[in-house]
Structure 1
Amino acid sequence: MRRLHRRIVRTARGDAGSVLLLTLGYAALAIVAILVCVNATSLYLAQKRLDGLADAAALAGADGYTLRVEAGRIHADLDDAGVRDQAEALVAVVGDGAVVVTAGTADGTSARVTVRADWHPPLLSLFVPDGLALQATATSRTALN
């Protein structure tokens, strides 16, 4: 019985450090998971912000029309210069570093605007240390046609 007791005590003393290694491993894994989640959330929110900016710029671009009266009817004509001027004016005010890539109209009644911005991870990131270039495109139609 004494031998069994000594063997149990000897085995218990030999396993004392393994719990510390497991704890450190799980702590490192938890920190990596937190970093990835924070960076992924930041990227998602940056893309949603850029989508909203593209929508607003397209809406502003759709207001860059010129009015024309023909046979007693009012027509709103969009041109590429008017769309670009309105979109760039809006992005300059609320863009927070975003730029207008393209802005124009294909059919004279709808404005299509593409904006671009750079995203940088808020925390240390091994996967994308330099950040990413994000882009969003939106289309809006004039209400007067």
Structure 2
Amino acid sequence: MGGRLMGGRRMRNPARDAEEGSILLLTLGYVLLALAVVLVCVCATDLYLAQKRLDALADSAAAAAADGFTLVTDANGVRAELDDQDMRDQAQGIIDAIEGEAALVDAWTPDGVSVRVTVTVPWHPPVFSPFVPDGVVLEATATSRTALQ
């Protein structure tokens, strides 16, 4: 099987000896590749979920800021008026209620009836991977309109 018998002794096949051990290296290479892929997938999934959480936080902060209006009566009737400081306070209240490192970048009204809120949070990978950066800053912007227009 492994060689011919000559005089009661087995002869070695040089071609077969050269291939010995190559399966171990190949298996080790595939294991390292699989481990790298798993680590990158874990980091990518965590990054995706962190961005979705930040999007939800920005939506909540924008909705709360849009509710921070004052009713103004004039010759045209009653209308809702948004105040920049009230919008920031409402949005900051939502961000402060969530435990984490999220920060309010800006809350402003582009047209007087809607609020645009921008929120950032630093993201760090959950596991060490040499293929993923140590961290990035995620940003989300959401817009919401006042209940009364």
Q: Verify the 8 A CA contact 1:53 1:95 in the aligned structure 2.
A: no
In the alignment, what sits opposite 1:104? Answer: 108
Uncovered stretches (5+) of structure 1, i.e. residues with no partner: none
The equivalent residue for 1:18 is 22
Is the contact between residue 87 and residue 108 of structure 2 (CA under 8 Å) also seen in structure 1?
A: yes
CA contact under 8 A between 2:40 and 2:132: conserved in structure 1? no
Task: Give 1 or 2: higher helix fraction.
Answer: 1
For the residues of structure 2 that align with 1:139 and 1:130, how far apart are their CA atoms? 30
CA RMSD of aligned residues (A): 2.1
Matched, 1:144 2:144: no
Q: TM-score, normalization: structure 1?
A: 0.88
- 1:23-80 per-residue CA deviation (whole Å, 9 max, x = no partner) reads 0000000000001110011111111111111111111110010012335832110021
Q: Which shifted more, 111-120 or 12-21?
A: 12-21
Kept in 2, the 8 Å contact 1:62–1:83? The answer is yes
1:56 aligns with 2:60: yes
Count residues in correspondence.
142
Q: Which has the larger radius of gyration?
A: 2
Runs of 5+ consecutive residues of structure 2 not aligned to the other structure: none
Percent identical among aligned pairs is: 56
Instruction: Assess, with a 3 A threshold, how the Cα gap between structure 1 residues 43 and 98 changes in structure 2: closer, same or farther.
Output: same
Residue aligning to 1:73: 77
Helix, strand or coil: the match of 2:37? Answer: helix
